[in-house]
């Protein structure tokens, strides 16, 4: 549920940014944007808030 | 031209190729035709001619370009999964772009006839924003929505984390290992990269649709050949019969050419290529689809 919320918030923010700036991020920047907002920022938050390790998870 | 449909198609194709093609191969194949042209299209004197015509960059939207790239990749990397991914991705892009008024030259150079079903107008002459507004005011936007619904209804399993781990990663272990080891992406981060094209497609489809409706407020005219507020942009003055006949002749010549290439050297390249451990290929179309 939490993951879906993060995905949803990221998409809504992307659409809002696009509408306000009238510029659509290109596909490569979009990929970076989604990785940062859906994976890196939540990991950073958990790291700061709960002290979780920031390392890679195994495949 | 199609917009978000090109992103959604990756996932629909992924469902049908499974471990027999690289997902990134599909993405690269589907992106390359516009990668070579899109940057310059809006500045061109005749955008449709430049994008799809000959003389122009229309050859990037022909089957032979995808074939040449796939052969080159097979020769250089020996990876069958990458070659198949690029071929299918590029061919899907060409097939999709048949729908607008500019069309494509699928069998260039054997036929330079533009083939189009004119579902919506190629509107690059209106600039990037005008193009977006026109596309999402025509059947183009419906076409994007159609592919979005197709993925959600019939291929949603490919978006799941379990599918990603079981099929997508093993089909292209080299690239995903690179993401993991060199770029330090977590397993979740890689899953986001995999899903990003879908999210990107959905986001741009929604954003540009809202832009067309509430920002520039152009009329929504989702019927054949729309939107009506723009002039047409046909590259060919041939009638439907003539267009089909010329394209068919080009298609026959193209098939003979592909068969000759296969006999002369592509079969040798294919046989010396390698597959990931999880991939087993059948004969004919089963070599590519499962």
Give per-residue pLDDT as tens, B37-95.
877 888 888 888 889 999 899 999 999 999 999 999 999 999 999 999 999 999 999 99
pLDDT score of B13 more than 60: yes
Q: Which of B26, B283, B28, B282 is nearest to B168 (CA)?
A: B26
CA of A48, closest CA in chain B: separation in Å? Answer: 18
Asked if A10 and A37 touch (Cβ cutoff 8 Å), the reply is yes
Cis status, amide bond into A37, omega within 30 of 0: no
- Contact of A39 with chain B, judged by CB distance below 8 Å, is answered with yes
Give percent above pLDDT 90 in chain B.
78
Cα B165 → chain centroid: 24
Asked if B54 and B105 touch (Cβ cutoff 8 Å), the reply is yes
For B188, the closest chain A residue by CA position comes to: A39
- How far is B50 from B40, CA to CA, in rounded Å? 9
Burial of B222 (0-12, 13-18, 19+ CB in 10 A): middle
> B165 to chain A: which residues are within 8 Å by CB?
59
- Contact of B187 with chain A, judged by CB distance below 8 Å, is answered with yes
- How far is A41 from A18, CA to CA, in rounded Å? 20
- Contact of A1 with chain B, judged by CB distance below 8 Å, is answered with no
pLDDT score of A59 more than 90: no
Least confident span in A12-21, B141-150, B159-168, B228-237: B228-237
pLDDT recorded at residue B24: 95
In this prediction the pTM is 0.93
- Contact of B45 with chain A, judged by CB distance below 8 Å, is answered with no
> B206 to chain A: which residues are within 8 Å by CB?
15
Asked if B230 and B137 touch (Cβ cutoff 8 Å), the reply is no
Give per-residue pLDDT as tens, B131-170.
999 999 999 999 999 999 999 999 999 999 999 999 999 9
* The Cα angle at residue B281 between residues B280 and B287, in degrees rounded to 5: 155
pLDDT recorded at residue B164: 97
């Amino acid at each position: 549920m939490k993951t879906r919320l993060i995905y949803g918030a990221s998409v809504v923010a992307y659409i809002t940014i696009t509408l306000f700036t009238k510029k659509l991020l290109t596909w490569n920047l979009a990929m970076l944007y989604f990785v940062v907002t859906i994976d890196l920022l939540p990991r950073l938050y958990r790291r700061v808030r709960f002290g979780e390790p920031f390392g890679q998870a195994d495949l | 031209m199609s917009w978000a449909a090109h992103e959604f198609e990756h996932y629909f194709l992924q469902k049908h190729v499974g471990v027999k093609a690289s997902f990134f191969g599909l993405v690269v194949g589907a992106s390359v035709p516009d990668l070579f042209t899109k940057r310059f299209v809006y500045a061109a004197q005749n955008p449709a001619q430049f994008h799809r015509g000959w003389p122009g960059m229309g050859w990037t939207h022909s089957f032979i370009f995808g074939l040449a790239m796939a052969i080159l990749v097979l020769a250089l990397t020996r990876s069958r999964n990458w070659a198949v991914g690029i071929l299918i991705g590029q061919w899907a892009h060409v097939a999709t772009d048949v729908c607008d008024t500019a069309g494509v030259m699928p069998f260039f150079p054997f036929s330079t006839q533009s083939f189009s079903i004119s579902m919506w107008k190629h509107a690059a002459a209106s600039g990037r924003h005008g193009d977006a507004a026109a596309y999402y005011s025509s059947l183009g936007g419906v076409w994007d929505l159609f592919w979005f619904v197709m993925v959600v209804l019939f291929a949603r399993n490919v978006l799941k984390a379990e599918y990603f781990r079981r099929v997508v990663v093993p089909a292209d272990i080299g690239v995903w290992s690179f993401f993991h080891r060199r770029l330090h992406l977590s397993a979740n981060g890689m899953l986001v990269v995999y899903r990003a094209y879908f999210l990107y497609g959905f986001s741009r489809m929604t954003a540009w649709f809202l832009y067309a409706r509430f920002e520039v407020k152009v009329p929504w005219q989702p019927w054949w050949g729309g939107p009506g507020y723009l002039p047409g942009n046909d590259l060919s003055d041939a009638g439907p019969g003539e267009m089909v006949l010329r394209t068919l002749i080009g298609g026959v010549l193209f098939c003979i050419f592909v068969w000759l290439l296969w006999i002369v050297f592509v079969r040798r390249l294919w046989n010396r290529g390698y597959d990931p451990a999880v991939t087993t290929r059948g004969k004919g179309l089963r070599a590519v689809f499962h």
